[in-house]
Amino acid sequence: MSSTTNTAMTYGRAVRLYPFDWLILGYSSLMLVLMVLFGRPLSVYYDEIAFYVSMVALVVLIARYVDERKGRLSALIRIAYPVMLLTFFYRTTGGLMFLVFDRFYDWQLTSFEKALFGVNPTLYIDRHWLNAWTNEIFSFCYFSYYFMIPVFVLVLFVKKHYETIKSILTAACLTFIFSYLLFFLYPIEGPRWHFAGQYVNQIESPLFRGLVEVVIDKGAVRGGCMPSSHFGVALVILMYCFKYYRRAGWLLLPINVGLAIGTVWGRFHYVSDVVAGGLLGLAFVLVVWKHYPRWSCSAVVHRAQRELEAEHVS
């Protein structure tokens, strides 16, 4: 069975695409089509068009020329390259925020949440709950998100749990991609912009609030709030931890709870964004757990059939 699998993976140096490869290729291609259909004038989107074309080319080149069996570095690049691209995909959404609609719709979410809670949670926190140490705790939890994916993938890579990496990156890519699509299908700029003139207090803490603000100032886009991809992907990692590494899951659980609260506490998201992001992450993990083995096996079997046919002809 293993020899068949290896043969299937190396047939004529044919390109074997993993599920996350297909997701990146499909998302990039879809964005190119949407820009052609809705981008007016199209010249405004030339940078984004160039980016997505380059992403398609990069995925094909990596899949074609980087053989994960030829050393650990090659394996790291081939299996974990989506981690390196996520920031660039996120940043590119900033130029596409008004691809379909020409305004933000925060007023709808804030009206809904005020009707539901009786207050706008972000304004209530501002007036009643802020203090240096709760700010520090929730800022730490929020900041920890930026290390979750690379650290988790690196640990799995060191352990040579390659299939688990492929599975989790498939779930993470699904969560990110659908989040990015919703960014411009329902543009929300977020409370730190929408309520900018209504806050009466600064969020201050000894260390981590400052670090969060540096990251936000350097890398955040205006918009991209609905849903919270931060919490969605953090939940993906948490669920994988509980499935495969339960002790790590229990350690990560309070951080994820603090992250969910911290997105609202820090004025980055509305409660609705966090709920929507969590539902996306939960749904896609369940989908991947159910279907990934079949997706992976079907690709191997297809390659094996092609190799056997080629050997028969030769």
Could you tell me the residue ranges of all domains in the chain? 2-313
Torsional sign, CA 87, 92, 95, 99: negative
What string of H, E and C letters represents the secondary structure of 7-27? HHHHHHHCCCCCHHHHHHHHH
Q: Find all residues with CB under 8 Å of 239, minimum gap 6, and list them.
A: 281, 282, 285
Mean pLDDT of 227-256: 94
Provide the 8-state DSSP code for 200: -
pTM metric for this prediction: 0.85
Is the pLDDT at 297 greater than 70, yes or no? Answer: no
The answer to whether 169 and 80 are in contact (CB under 8 A) is yes
Can you tell me the distance from the alpha carbon of 181 to that of 184, in angstroms, rounded to the nearest whole number? 6
Q: CB atoms < 10 A from the CB of 153, how many? A: 22
| Most confident among 158-162, 234-238, 305-309 (mean pLDDT) | 234-238
Q: Find all residues with CB under 8 Å of 180, minimum gap 6, and list them.
A: 27, 89, 90, 93, 224, 229
pLDDT for the residue 14: 56
Is the pLDDT at 210 greater than 70, yes or no? Answer: yes
> Which region among 7-21, 63-77, 88-102, 208-222 has the lowest average model confidence (pLDDT)?
7-21
The share of the chain scoring above pLDDT 70, in percent, equals: 89
Which residue, among 13, 1, 27, 6, has the nearest Cα to 174 in the 3D structure? 27
pLDDT for the residue 219: 79
Opening angle at CA 92, ends 207 and 178, nearest 5: 90
Mean pLDDT of 241-248: 91
Q: Would you tell me the crossing angle of helices 106-117 and 271-313 to the nearest 10 degrees?
A: 120
Mean pLDDT of 157-175: 93
Which residue, among 182, 173, 278, has the nearest Cα to 235 in the 3D structure? 278
pLDDT for the residue 271: 96
Q: Would you tell me the crossing angle of helices 162-185 and 132-158 to the nearest 10 degrees?
A: 130
> Which region among 12-16, 149-153, 233-237 has the lowest average model confidence (pLDDT)?
12-16
pLDDT for the residue 217: 84
Mean pLDDT of 277-305: 77
Mean pLDDT of 84-109: 92
pLDDT grade, residue 113 (50/70/90)? Answer: very high
Q: Which residue has the tokens 């028969």?
A: 312
| Between residues 314 and 149, the one the model is more confident about | 149
Please state, rounded to an integer, the average pLDDT across all residues of the chain.
Answer: 88
Size of the chain, expressed as the number of residues it contains:
314
**Farthest CA pair distance, the chain:** 77
Is the pLDDT at 259 greater than 90, yes or no? Answer: yes
Can you tell me the distance from the alpha carbon of 72 to that of 66, in angstroms, rounded to the nearest whole number? 11
Mean pLDDT of 258-268: 95
Mean pLDDT of 40-45: 90
